[in-house]
Amino acid sequence: MLPSKVFSQIKYCANGLNYRKNSVIASVLEKANVGDSTEVKGWVKNLRVQKEFIFADVSDGSCAQRLQILIPKSLKTDSLSFGSSVHITGKLSKSPRGQVELVAENVKVLGDCVVSDGYPFNPRTSHPPEYIRQFIHLRSRTNYISSILRVRNSVSKYIHDFYSSQKYLNIHTPILTSNDCEGAGEVFKIQPDSEETVKAMMQEGRDKDTVYFGSKTYLTVSGQLHLEAICRGMGNVYTLGPTFRAENNRSRLHLSEFYMLEAELAFCDNLELLQDHIEDLLKYVYRETRNTNEADLCLIDKENSNTPDWLNKSFITLSYDEAKIILEKKKIASTEEGLNKEQELALVEYCGGVPVFVVKWPKDLKSFYMKECPEDSSKVDALDLLAPITGEIVGGSLREDNYDKLKSKLPSDKLHWYLELRKFGNIPTGGYGLGLERLLQTMCRVTNIKDTLPFPRWPHNCSM
Ligand code: 4AD
Ligand code: MG
């Protein structure tokens, strides 16, 4: 039992107020009572000087809306400027237009901001994303990035809500691993940096690559194989965590470090079950986020004010062979196998902007763990979900659960443990991975993936 004093502090914080009555703007706007004494701390986004008052729009990051502060000219300090951080106390009131505002009684500038000293942003200016991206350490001050990060926060909350409502267990899969799940050779290798440690451990008779863990160790490219291990003991599971790919790809859709949502569905022996589940997840997360973050979505891109058609339509399914025929008709077929980005986006357009599952892929194009189609052994029960803006956002499959078939495709003896999962109390499972950043690109209409997370990493860029 918590002591009552601590408990009352917690209750206070749950209302968005800390113990010293300093409020976050989101809570002030939610339950504003005219006449209430209130304190806010935040950054000045805009200043307008009028006859008797200075009007300052202050944001503290808690919501897209800014709180308008009326500052009597007698309280003006010289360092109060666009970009400065402030602590303001006063009384809540309503503007003639019915908006909540704060009439300041005390104004303290906590940190000044002199634009001519090199601050890269200007008031009332919409800077292009390419410009903002040059100032990664300062870009949370912009509307564009702060709105995207608030949407990202909501999306991850609703993802957890969705799985929790379906009784899935959230499993923390490891970041360090000895397997290259996808087998595409896009792993980053892990070694101690300290020469002393390496030297000492090599004396124990190991080589440089395996010196620390005793086996080659990488940053994970996917938690799937670990999820499969837990799924075969505990049922439905998911994970949402950092994932790493050492691709030499600087496209607007690739990162070296991204967040992947992965789920593994127990007793799943049918690709359609997996597809329905993915569709339900995406529609739930999208609807909830639109409800809570409408203002953010509109600040990111005005077109986000229109609800996308597909939210009320069923996703489409095409087999890989059907997709290839459509591309031939559209005259964008290629001799290469698989689908390139142009082809993925053309298929989405062909489907009227509705996300489309491409299923039943040639075995040679997909990973070793995917289940052979019962009706055609040259194909696997795999799916890619293609969406507007990004093309592929989800990759998944039924998992090969036949011990002998899996054994014949196993890429390395080191995965004997994965094979053994099929030996004891085996069950059919299916699962998928969804790139969180690509989902945000589709949801928010963000062209470049580097704007969907606070600190993007891509080849030649890991500066902070
Ligand atoms: O299709 P992928 O490679 O699938 C897997 O890793 C499976 N093991 C997942 C599973 O079945 N549990 O990756 C899944 C998704 C892609 O569809 C894409 O959205 C995202 O992860 N992704 C990337 N996102 C940003 N940058 C990259 N370099 C990405 N590579 C994949
Ligand atoms: Mg894929």
143-186+221-451, what's its fold? BirA Bifunctional Protein; domain 2 (3.30.930)
The token pair that represents 195 in the structure block: 């020469």
d(CA 71, CA 252) in angstroms, rounded, equals: 44
Mean pLDDT of the chain: 93
Report pLDDT for 21.
54
What's the pLDDT tens digit per position in 267-287?
999 999 999 999 999 999 999
Nearest ligand to the CA of 438 is 1
What angle, 0 to 180 degrees and rounded to 10, lies between the N-to-C axes of helices 271-292 and 436-444?
60
Distance 359 CA to ligand 2 centre (A): 12
* Residue partners of 140: CB distance under 8 A and separation at least 6: 61, 146, 149, 454
d(CA 339, CA 388) in angstroms, rounded, equals: 15
Nearest CA to ligand 1 atom 23: 435
What's the pLDDT tens digit per position in 228-238?
999 999 999 99
Residue 17 has pLDDT above 90, yes or no: no
Spell out which residues have Cβ within 5 A of ligand 2, the ion: 395
| CATH 3.30.930.10 intervals, the chain | 143-186+221-451
Top-confidence residue, 31 or 422: 422
Distance 404 CA to ligand 2 centre (A): 25
Q: How far apart are the first and last CA of the chain?
A: 43
Report pLDDT for 22.
59
CA angle 217, 218, 219 (to 5 degrees): 145
* Residue partners of 21: CB distance under 8 A and separation at least 6: 37, 38, 39
Report pLDDT for 20.
42
18-124: CATH superfamily? Nucleic acid-binding proteins (2.40.50.140)
Report pLDDT for 189.
96
- Show the beta-strand stretches assigned E in 214-312: 218-219, 237-244, 257-266
**Mean pLDDT of all residues in 187-192:** 95
Model confidence at 11, pLDDT cuts 50, 70, 90, reads very low
Lowest-confidence region among 163-167, 203-207, 313-317: 203-207
Give, in order, the Cα–Cα distances in Å from 267 to each of 227, 238, 273, 419: 14, 15, 10, 17
**Mean pLDDT of all residues in 439-459:** 98
| CATH 2.40.50.140 intervals, the chain | 18-124
Distance 398 CA to ligand 2 centre (A): 14
Which residue among 258, 344, 359 has the greatest number of ligand 1 atoms within 8 angstroms of its CB, and so is best to mutate? 258
Residue 18 has pLDDT above 50, yes or no: no
Report pLDDT for 357.
98
Please return the burial class of 351, using the count of CB atoms within 10 Å of its CB with bins 0-12, 13-18 and 19+.
buried
**Mean pLDDT of all residues in 335-347:** 95
Model confidence at 459, pLDDT cuts 50, 70, 90, reads very high
With beta carbons less than 8 A apart as the criterion, state whether 177 and 216 touch. no
